[in-house]
Amino acid sequence: MDGSFNMESHLEAAGGGVDWEARYHAGDTPWDKGAAHPALLERLTRNPLEGDVLVPGCGAGHDARAIGAHGARNVVGLDIAPAALNRARAFSNPAGLEFRLDDFLTARAHLGFDAVFEHTCLCAIPPARRRDYVAAVARCLGNGGLFLGVIFTNPDNPSIDTPPFRCGLDDIEELFSGLFEIQEIRHGIPTFPERTGREAWVEMRKRPRTNA
Ligand SMILES: C[S@@+](CC[C@H](N)C(=O)[O-])C[C@H]1O[C@@H](n2cnc3c(N)ncnc32)[C@H](O)[C@@H]1O
């Protein structure tokens, strides 16, 4: 997904309530670069993800596929659009990689993951539902679980109606710091050419549950 999301699209601007299924059917998916994110590949080469990993809003599954190919035990790619999952399943996928159809914000069935990987899912969620996104990440992770990935900060989009929604690092800290201990926020990451300077890499750990 790019800041020019709607301009690149040959469909009308869809607003926050994007019909993702229609976009995949129309082949109108400018966010799909046909490859895993370069910053993810760099992280996996340096420090592979082990255990069970969830990728919400996985689209065609390029990131989930790369995580599986680098040795994660089980990887689940989750998406709300059946056509995205059809696209994902059509690839040659490593053992242990599974694609599931569900709404990440409301699903209750995907639990106990060691890591959740984010890439262009959060920026697709209307800002009013971001707390649901954070709660979903926390729900899917076990204690000490890792939330990591690429935040599409998209500083040039002032719109609160049209994705990809701007999500600054101030927003990230405000949203996540209650439930997560932020370990890394880094600009200047390897990325696709047109996204330079518009993303950040984050890593954070879910805090142990307290009774307070
Ligand atoms: C901009 S696309 C990015 C897809 C993929 N991460 C990529 O980089 O190619 C956003 C994806 O999130 C999915 N999505 C949006 N809302 C969702 C939700 N509530 N639960 C699960 N998936 C969702 C869409 O269907 C779409 O595939």
Encode pLDDT of 111-138 as tens digits: 999 999 999 999 999 999 999 999 999 9
Q: Is 133 in the pocket of ligand 1 (CB under 6 A)?
A: no
- Given a cut of 90, whether residue 157 has pLDDT beyond it is no
What are the structural domains of the chain? 5-206 (3.40.50.150)
Phi/psi at 59 (5° precision): 55, -130
- Say how far apart CA 168 and CA 200 lie, in whole Å: 9
Question: pTM for the whole thing?
Answer: 0.93
DSSP one-letter code for 13? P
User: What values do phi and psi take at 145, rounded to 5?
Assistant: -65, 155
Mind listing the pLDDT tens digit for each residue in 48-71? 999 999 999 999 999 999 999 999
Question: Could you tell me the strand order of the sheet in which 199-206 lies?
Answer: 97-101, 74-79, 52-56, 113-119, 141-152, 199-206, 180-186
78-93 residue pLDDT tens: 999 999 999 999 999 9
Compute the radius of gyration of the chain from its Cα atoms.
16
Q: How far is the CA of 150 from the centre of ligand 1 (A)?
A: 14
Confirm or reject: Cβ of 124 under 6 Å from ligand 1.
yes
- Residues of the chain with pLDDT > 90, as a percent, come to 83
Residue closest by Cα to atom 12 of ligand 1 = 57
Question: What per-residue confidence (pLDDT) applies to 12?
Answer: 43
Among 121, 150, 195, say which to mutate for ligand 1: greatest number of ligand atoms within 8 Å of CB.
121
